Chain A
Amino acid sequence: MSEPHSYIGFEEYSQRIPQSIPAAVQQATSRFVGLRAARVAEMPHWEQLRQLGSDIRLHTIENLDYYLTKLEINVQAAGGIVHWAATAGDARQIVLQIAKEHDVKLAVKSKSMATEEIELNHALEEAGIEALETDLGEYIIQLAGTGPSHIIVPAVHLKKEEIASLFSEKLKIQAPADPAVLARIARETLREKFLNAEMGITGANFLVAETGTLVIVTNEGNGRMCSTMPDLHVAVVGIDKVIPDWETLTVFLKLLARSATGQKISTYTQFITGPRKEEGEFGPKEFHLVLLDNGRSKILQDSVGREIFKCIRCGACANVCPVYKHVGGFAYGWFISGPIGAIFAPQMLGTRVARELPYASTLCGACADVCPVKIPIPKILRHLRKRVAEGDVVSGPAMATSIRATAGLVSLALAWNWIYRTGTRLLPSIMGVFLKDGWIPSAPYPLSRWTSVRPLPRFNAQFRSWWKNKLGKKDTSR
């Protein structure tokens, strides 16, 4: 298991999310949902491709020792140096040691989930090394000192005006609230850093065992900069990222961008096999691959839960999730959010620390429908709920007493017709007190738990009379 982590109180976090988040996150998710759908519609064999993606990932997981051994041999044959990190602490130590040996003062980073997982930036800064995020969104949230609200667009919750004042304050310049100008400022600021950094740190989207190749996908080009400009390239990658060969890679490159951003392919895809071969070609003199276990190998014991490792980190599950859309990335309390985060954190950190996350879902199944590698997320959520209920749990499921009481009342009302009828007659007058333009923007406890995140629509509790009327009309028309 991963190192100790503080309790993830999804329920509590989701009550405290800034007001700007749901609207911004929904804007991002609905755009990606639309773009993805358009790309998928162009692919006649999409469903077969998903099945194949799922089969290959499962095959790789079931033979993970074989492929990792092969990967190690081939990275070494290409002149790269392989390190095995059993824990997050080991991984940090390895990277710090490499940095120390090369007298690194400035490191540039491209977006990497694995380095978030091991909290590398913090460790580097403590060691006196400046570690700079270079993906524009990551750079912005690093300046702001917050976490990501969305996997693909981490700073989507910030308005351009907020980013402009952030740039003005931190970079001591006059920044206008214009996305193009802000991007240019970031380009110029980071360009200098790319040229001066002694170390580039990246993750990887895939590791190809056949040749020991690192595959990195980006749109901005910062991934290319980080792996090309400094003389030293260190990649920190989870052991689950390995795939058998280039032939299987064709499947994942077709699935990834379409599912993530709704592009046919991302702007830049790099295939890196070892360090540079010739002095003048650019690229690092030295290449290190840190393979991170951090509890993954233990999770493999669980034949249901281990399907999490099929994940190719596209974020499509989050974009369709009704829960995620209303709370955004912050509420999940760890670096991977959305439905995939809800099955990742409890397995990695333990169901004690993340026991609320398996319940952060309606089990509607939208995530499983869009997952490019067919991870049965609802099934794993139920499996984890069982573990929470039976296993290493302190208290019961994360449903508050007040909610349970309300749910109990509602089901009672529905069962007893007279309570229902009285209730529906009384409701309009009670509701009238809180009504504003046909919505209820705030309501007393326990309904405040809903209205603190979004307004409640006006109740139209006339179903039975509406149904009776409808039936009556039908009868007369016959």
Chain B
Amino acid sequence: MTYSVIESIRNSLGRGTGTPLLRRPEIFPARQPESVDVEIDQFLNEVNKLSGVGKHITTQEIAERLKELVCSENIHKATLWDTDLLKQLGIEDLLRETGVELISPNASKQEMELCDLGITECDYLLPETGTIVLRSSNKKPRGVSLLPRIHLAIVIPQQLRADLHQVFAEAKDAHYLVFVTGPSRTADIELTVTLGVHGPKELYVWMLKGSI
């Protein structure tokens, strides 16, 4: 007879095959959100506390902000999610106008590695921790928020959720999810905090104001 882990567990616990499941403990109820403005403030505040750069901007400001970012961070190559909001905002054209070379989000990892900037949207936001939650698909590849040295997420207030309970209730069917909270960090050498050890060194989060 082959050894079965499940069999061995049942023997140790004295549980037969038909033993019914005990009821699991009840979890606390979800957090009640504040007004949208308070939640936005809290969210951006948390992003900034973690050495990210969180900003509340209007859609009209985007062109100028992008230009500033391209100059200040010395950006030559960029890649971005192939999603509706980013198209609507005309991000691709804005980047081309500033002389940035665009790489397809479905390009090989070697090509994407050379990008200075990766731009994504996000699916959900958690104000308590300053977390952005990203799903994954052909149009929203995982590499865009991971390989370039700078990650910019353009987000909207509608993506705010009260807490983990809400996010999980909506997203547990996703085959891949990642929570991003601030830039990549380590304190492995003499406990000195260093940013950007494997993931992006910088995280920009732009929250759009008003209706889109």
List residues of A whose CB falls within 8 A of some B CB: 27-28, 31, 45, 48-49, 52, 55-56, 59-60, 62-66, 68-69, 78, 84, 86, 134-137, 140, 153-156, 159-160, 163, 179-180, 182-184, 186-187, 190-191, 194-195, 210-211, 213, 219-222, 224-225, 228-229, 239, 244, 246-251, 253-254, 264-274, 276-283, 291, 293, 297-301
Contact = CB atoms under 8 A, between A and B. Distances in A.
B143 interface: yes
A264 to B, nearest CB: 5
A186 B198 CA distance: 9
B72 interface: no
A267 B183 contact: yes
Q: Which 4 A-B pairs have the closest CB atoms?
A: A221-B199, A280-B106, A137-B188, A300-B12
A135 B6 CA distance: 33
Contacts of B46: 264
A7 B131 CA distance: 46
Contacts of A291: 5
B186 to A, nearest CB: 5
A397 to B, nearest CB: 28
B184 interface: yes
A49 B180 CA distance: 24
A180 B109 CA distance: 25
Contact of A224 (B5, B8, B186, B199): B199
10 contacts: A65-B6, A160-B192, A190-B198, A224-B198, A268-B181, A272-B176, A274-B175, A276-B176, A281-B137, A297-B12
Contacts of A140: 188-189
Contacts of B182: 267
A202 B70 CA distance: 36
A336 B54 CA distance: 38
A220 B186 contact: yes
Given A180-B194, A281-B142, A59 B113 contact: no
Contacts of B13: 62, 64-65, 300
A160 B189 CA distance: 6
Q: With a 10 A CB-CB cut-off, give which of B10, B27, B171 has the most chain A CB atoms.
A: B27
B88 interface: no
B199 A267 contact: yes
Contacts of B6: 65, 68-69
Given A179-B190, A270-B177, A278 B9 contact: no
Given A153-B187, A159-B190, A56 B109 contact: no
A268 B199 contact: yes
